[in-house]
Amino acid sequence: MVNFKKLIAETVYDEALGLSLEEIEGMIEIPADESMGDYAFPCFRLAKALRKAPQLIAADIAARAGDAEAFEKVENVNAYVNFFIDRAYFAGEVIDEVNRLGNAYGRSNSGEGRKVIVEYSSPNIAKPFHIGHIRSTVIGNAIYKLYDAVGFDVIRINHLGDYGTQFGKMIVAYRKWGSEEELAKDPIKSLLSYYTRFHKEAEEHPELEDEARETFVKLEAGEPEELALWEKFRKLSLEEFNRVYDMLGITFDSYAGESFYSDKMPRFIQELKDKGLLIESQGAQIVDLEPYDLGAAMITKSDGSSLYVTRDIAAAVYRKETYDFYKCIYVVASQQNLHFKQWKKVLELMGYEWQKDCIHVPFGLVSLSDGDDIKMMSTREGRVVFLEDVLNTAVAKTAEIMREKDAQGVDIDEVSKEVGIGAVIFQELSNNRIKDYVFSWDKVLNFDGETGPYVQYTHARASSVLRKAEAAGIDVDAIGKIDPAHLSSDSAYTLAKLLYRVPEVVEEAAAKYEPSIVTRHLVDIAQSFNKFYHDEHILVDDEDEKNAKLALVKASRTVLANCLGLLGIAAPERM
pLDDT digits (tens, 9 = 90+) for 26-35: 999 999 998 8
Distance linking the first and last C-alpha atoms of the chain: 33
pLDDT tens for each residue of 405-434: 877 788 999 999 999 999 999 999 998 999
As a whole number, mean pLDDT of residues 482-493 equals 95
pLDDT tens for each residue of 63-81: 988 777 899 999 999 999 9
Q: Which residues contact 357 (CB under 8 A, 6 or more apart)?
A: 325, 326, 327, 328
Ordered by where they begin, the domains of the chain are 4-85 (3.30.1360.70), 115-263+311-376 (3.40.50.620), 387-566 (1.10.730.10)
Dihedral, CA of residue 450, residue 456, residue 460 and residue 462, to nearest 10: 60
CA distance 25 to 4: 10
407 or 518: whose pLDDT is higher?
518
449 or 145: whose pLDDT is higher?
145
The overall pTM is greater than 0.85? yes
Sheet holding 358-361, edge to edge: 153-157, 115-119, 327-331, 358-361
CB 85 within 8 A of CB 72: yes
Q: For 431-506, where are the E strands, in sequence order?
A: 437-439
The pLDDT assigned to 383 comes to 53
Confidence of residue 374 (pLDDT cuts 50, 70, 90): very low
Q: Any idea what DSSP says for residue 327?
A: E
237 or 552: whose pLDDT is higher?
552
CA distance 187 to 469: 53
Q: At residue 372, does pLDDT exceed 80? A: no
Share of the chain above pLDDT 90, in %: 76
Residues identified as active-site: 127, 130, 133
Which region holds residue 233: left if phi is over 0, alpha if psi is between -120 and 50, else beta? alpha
Q: How many CB atoms lie within 10 A of CB 557?
A: 24
The pLDDT assigned to 173 comes to 95
Long-range contacts (CB closer than 8 Å, 24 or more residues apart) made by 13-20: 16/49, 16/50, 17/46, 17/49, 17/50, 18/46, 18/49, 19/45, 19/46
pLDDT tens for each residue of 118-160: 999 999 888 888 888 899 999 999 999 999 999 999 999 999 9
Confidence of residue 317 (pLDDT cuts 50, 70, 90): very high
The pLDDT assigned to 501 comes to 96
Cross-strand pairs, 124: 161
Look at residues 20, 60, 24 and name the one whose alpha carbon lies nearest to residue 41. Answer: 24
Kindly write down the DSSP assignment for every residue of 88-143, as one continuous string: HHHHHHHHHHHHHHGGGTT---TTTT-EEEEE---PBTTS--BGGGHHHHHHHHHH
